Each structure stands twice: as structure tokens, then as C-alpha cells.
Structure 1
């Protein structure tokens, strides 16, 4: 079986794609892959590091306001479609899967016009422009939130969940704690702002350090590579409590998450998939800088079910941060209830579901 996968721009589009690839490799040893992305996106380094064949096209996203740049984007899209057609005709895939980001537009559109079975995977509760456009042409649409179904043709939509959720199952949480220097017996909070970090979260945490040092729990605080040196200088001035571990980035996030009692983070789709799959309670600080405010809408899905609480960035400061952590983590009954509700929302066989959908389409070809 030959499979083309396209997705890029952010880790939220790339990591689900890699999780699906790993599931397919496990089930179909002879599967061949080609990943199509952009040179400037994160995918060009992340995917090639995984030794997956990679080809690039040049494409940019549309501006939501009227702009001359949008005319350029139209020309780049048409050129991207032409380049994608050539790549697809040469590779001859059995199926093409788009996991999000504007690079999917020309790739999946070209595949649909070549009558190749196609799937788009929408990770968020509110779809982006690219997936809304592609929904008219693709064979099937895989979604992670029930709410997303309302934006697509009903006969095409299948709830599969996020393949990344399946990858975190069965990890050793004790080993995860030890790997980052956390005690295996004290309650643990993980605070992070996504793969690149988030300045407002970092500022609130740094101002909270002296107070956190007095708490009966421990904190793993991930600053993001881009912010680490700056945070390090500030921490040197205020002091680093013994119960707070500060790191720029961790590469074994699934293992660490498995050993955590409470997470404070942004509400990107991949993060929420991991949290619900493991049943980890969370206090979510949605990024207000994303398209359609989709992070807050993602977070509200968990809040409604009682699996998470929301702290808006405009209300975030050192006092509100500590108040919210204490209110959840120090109330055992509340924490246990949130764990159960988070777990109930999880789709732990998400990669299997998407792989099954893919196989059905190929069989019908």
C-alpha cells in the first residue's frame, strides 16, 4: 500500500500524522509513505528526522482580511496543485490523507481531482479554512470533536479521534517522573505553554515561584526552548524552589504525562487528545491568538463535560494561577471526578479508527 500524507505548519498537524504512520507501519509492514509539506514549516525537520520520504511544495495561507497577498496565494495554490499532481502521478498512492495546515490544500485537492481516495483529519472543534474548502472534494472527513461534525457534509464525517491519543496509552508514569527529576510519591503538576512556550504563562509562573515553594506538591515547569534563557535569568533573581523543576523542553511527553496529576497548559487539539486519553485533569489557558478562537472552543468541550477548568489569559496572573491549582489539586474528590470525566472523553483507539477508515476507502477504490 502506498500512502501520501500532508500536514504542516505546527506540531498539532504533524504529530497526529506521525502517530498514524507508526500505526500503519505496525499493521502493514510493506506500506510505503511519502510526506508532502513545505520547506519552511516544522514538518521539514520533524518528518525527515523520522526517516520518512519528504517532498515540498511552496504555498502560503490566506489572510482573513482583504489583501493583495491573497492574490499571490491563489497563484501559489494553483502552482502547488500542479506540483502536487506531478508528485502524485509519479508516486501513485492508493490514498492521500491531509492532517491540517494550508499545505494540505493543493495536495489533497490535486488527489481528489485525480480520483485518488482522500481523507482530511480535523483536530479542532472548529475547522480551519483549508479543511472547510477541501470538505467538498474529499472522500471522508475524520474528526476529533463531536462539535466539528456540524461544519461538514454528514455523509462524509466519521469520529475517529486524534491518532496521537493512542500513542500515550500504556506509558510508564513512574519512569516519566524519574526522567525529569520529580519525586514518585508527591502530587505533581505539569505547566507548559506548547512546544514553543507561552510568555504570559511563563510570566505568571516566575512570579509564583516563591509561593509554589511552600506548597505540598511539586511542579514541572516547561518554558519552551525560545524562552528558557530569559526565564533562567529571572529565576536566578527570585530563586528556584526545590519542589519546582524547570526545563526548556521534554522529548518524552507521553511518558511524563502518564505520571502527572494535573496539567496547566494551552488547549491545542493534540494536547487535549493526550490528556483525555490518559484521563489527566487540566486547567486550560486557551491561546487567544489563534484562528477562530478555536483553542477556547476546544477547551469549552472539556469544561462542559467536567474534565477541565478554564483560566482565560486575561485573568491569568500569579495569584489566579496558584488559586486554581490549589482548588483542583488539593481537593481529592474534585480531582478524582475530573480524572474519570477526562478518561470518559478519550478515544484511546483513535489511530486504529483512522487506519480502518483508510483501509475501507482503499478497498472500495
Structure 2
């Protein structure tokens, strides 16, 4: 199996650790919807990435390309199309991202997490499959995580998923209220690459750039999650029945897809939602308290949800396309 990603992204560190997967880094440019001086340089990075991806694909001669979207996927999709390789893309969010919108004319099929997304794509290419949840996340050992972290078995655990460039606001907010939060919770904070703060050496507070093999154990131990509202993560929390406080990226910093994801989950009774524009010291602490207070209600509602792991279906589609 071969994986093409960015030259310096965190996925390089994560994927390179997987046996049997060969990683190839290419130049990438972010696809921004707002003015930034980098918008002048990045199209040239994308062009460079297209030629790099095309060269890699021509050499590897894959039977099929599977893309999850994101700005790094555009050069790979175009490189695959140039080499006449069949391409599948997976759209996780309620509405297609810019990368997948660019990719759509060049792909064989687009797999959807939300059935409503069909209205935004070519219906002939669209296939609803539901959420894809990593099976290994269901095998977590809470006791193992508790021992590793040195946490008490009697105090609830709050998991903060702040590990991305767009989650700086969450990281800052959580850290500014650590003393208050630690009165009620033990906290595992996934804060992203280069964001660990060594000065915050407090009992009951464990911070990591990210977790890979240990994530399943930590999730098994978790009572409440604070997170952005990316589709992949929130469907995993739903499958694991983890009450959520979702703070989606604002429309100023995104196309608004996370807001739609979070509203859909809140309407279904799986979470509380706090928009970033409404995020203050008072609203944040009240929202955290409300999620913990209502956690049992959320869990019972999530148990009624029809969340099927469609990994086997995706693999079957990939195999059929490869033939």
C-alpha cells in the first residue's frame, strides 16, 4: 500500500509508523477562501505537487486511488487522472469541501457520510455509505490508560481534541481555565504538533501532541469530549457513545461545514454545541458543565443511533473499482 501526503504534515509521522505502508511526500498549497499573501505562492506549490504526484503514480502504476479530501489530495487526484487511474473520493462532511469540489470531475465515484450530501454532487457518481469508524478504537482498555496516565478511578475524564491548526482557540481557552476544570475533571489534552506547554505540569492534566496506538485506551477512559466538529472525529465519538461539546470552526475560518455537522448532531441529541463567536469564559464553563450534567441522556440517545461501521463496504468498493 502506498500513501501520498504532504512533505511536512503530521500525517507523515503517523503513516510512516504503519508497517507495510510506503509514504511519499509532495509539495502542497492550502486552498484558502480568504485573502492571504500565501495565495500568491500556493498555486505554484499545487502545480509542483501535481507533477510530483503524477510521477509517483506513473512509477507505482496503482490499480485505484482512494482520496479523503483535504488540500493535499488535489495534486494526487489530478496526477491520478493524468495517468488514467480510477479514483474514489470520500466526503465526510455535510457539504463537499473545496478540494473535493475540484476533484469531482476527475473521479469515478464519491462516497458520502451524510445522505443529504447527494444534493451537492453529481448524483450519478454519488453513493451514500455512512460513517467510517476505525475498528481498533472499539478495542480500548480504560484501565490501561488510567495506569499510564496516573489518573484516579473515581474522578471523571475530560478529553480535549485540540490537535490541529484550527484548534488554537480551544487550546487557549482550556488552558486559561485549567484550575477550574481540574476541580471537576482529569484532563487529557491532544493539543497538536508543537503545542505542548512544558510549564503546565499539573496533577490530573496530561498533554500530548497526538496519540496513535494509545488513543483507543484513552477514549475508553473518557467521560466527556471537547472537540471541533470534523465529521470523522464526531462519528467516532458517536460510535463510542461519548458525550460531546462541539465548538465548530467559525465561518470566518472555514466554509461553515463544521457548523452544519455540529448542528446536525445537536439536533439528533448527541451533543451540546457552542459556536466560536459565542465562546467566552462564562459560556465555555457553563457548556462543559452542561455536557457533563446531560451526559447520561446523550449516551442513551446515542445508543439508539444506527451507526454501522462501513469499512468493509468501502474496502469492497475499492476492490471492485480496482478490477
Aligned partner of 1:177 among 122, 146, 169: 146
Q: What does residue range 287-306 of structure 1 map to in structure 2 within 5 Å?
A: 287-288=249-250, 290-306=253-269
Distance 1:290 1:148 in 2: 22
Q: 1:55 to 1:227 in 2, by over 3 A?
A: closer
2:188 is the alignment partner of 1:188: no
- How has the CA–CA distance of structure 1 residues 345 and 290 changed in structure 2, closer, same or farther, with 3 Å as cutoff? farther
Change in Cα spacing, 1:311 to 1:170, as seen in structure 2 (3 Å) is: same
Deviation at 1:72, TM superposition (A): 5.7
Q: 1:219 to 1:132 in 2, by over 3 A?
A: same
Deviation at 1:111, TM superposition (A): 2.1
Whole-angstrom CA distance in 1 between matches of 2:179 and 2:44: 55
Per-residue deviation, 1:353? 2.2
Matched-pair contact (CA < 8 Å) for 2:139–2:216 = no
Give the match for residue 98 of structure 2.
129
Q: 2:191 aligned to 221, 224, 227, which one? A: 224
Q: Judging changes above 3 Å, is the alpha-carbon distance between structure 1 residues 64 and 191 closer, same or farther for their aligned structure 2 residues? A: closer
Q: Any idea what SS the aligned residue of 1:264 has?
A: strand
Q: Aligned pair count?
A: 318
Match of 1:322 among 278, 282, 285: 285
2:13 aligns to what? 45
What is the TM-score with the length of structure 2 in the denominator? 0.84
Q: Which residue of 1 aligns with 2:271?
A: 308
**How far is the alpha carbon of 1:204 from its aligned partner?**
3.4
Q: Does 1:151 align with 2:117?
A: no
Compare relative contact order (CA 8 Å, sep 6+) and give the higher one, 1 or 2: 1
The secondary structure found in structure 2 opposite 1:154 is coil
Partner of 1:11: none
Compute the displacement of 1:138 (Å): 0.7
Report matched runs for 1:270-281 at 5 Å. Answer: 270-281=232-243
Structure 2 distance, partners of 1:84, 1:213, is 47
Could you tell me which residue of structure 2 aligns to residue 267 of structure 1? 229
> Per-residue deviation at 1:352?
1.7
Contact 1:279 1:344 in 2 (8 A): no
Structure 2 counterparts to residues 338-353 of structure 1, below 5 A: 338-345=298-305, 347-353=307-313
Q: What's the counterpart of residue 357 of structure 1?
A: 317
Instruction: Give me the whole-angstrom Cα distance separating, in 1, the residues matched to 2:8 and 2:306.
Output: 33
Q: Could you say which structure has the higher helix fraction?
A: 1
Q: Does 1:95 align with 2:58?
A: no
**Cα distance change on mapping 1:70 and 1:264 into 2, 3 Å:** closer
Aligned equivalents of 2:166, 2:121: Cα separation in 1: 32
How does 1:217-256 map onto structure 2 within 5 Å?
Answer: 218-222=185-189, 224=191, 226-229=194-197, 232=200, 240=202, 244-249=204-209, 251=211, 252-256=214-218
Q: Deviations over 1:261-300 (max 9, x none)?
A: 2112222233212201101110111122642022222211
2:110 is the counterpart of 1:141: yes
How far did residue 327 of structure 1 move? Answer: 2.5
Q: 1:43 to 1:187 in 2, by over 3 A?
A: closer
TM-score normalized with structure 1 length: 0.75
SS state at 2:3 partner? strand
2:155, 2:186 within 8 Å by CA — same for their partners in 1? no
Distance in 2 separating the partners of 1:209 and 1:82: 47
**Cα deviation digits, residues 66-87 of structure 1 (max 9, x gap):** 7896676555545544443332
Change (3 A) 1:344 1:166: farther
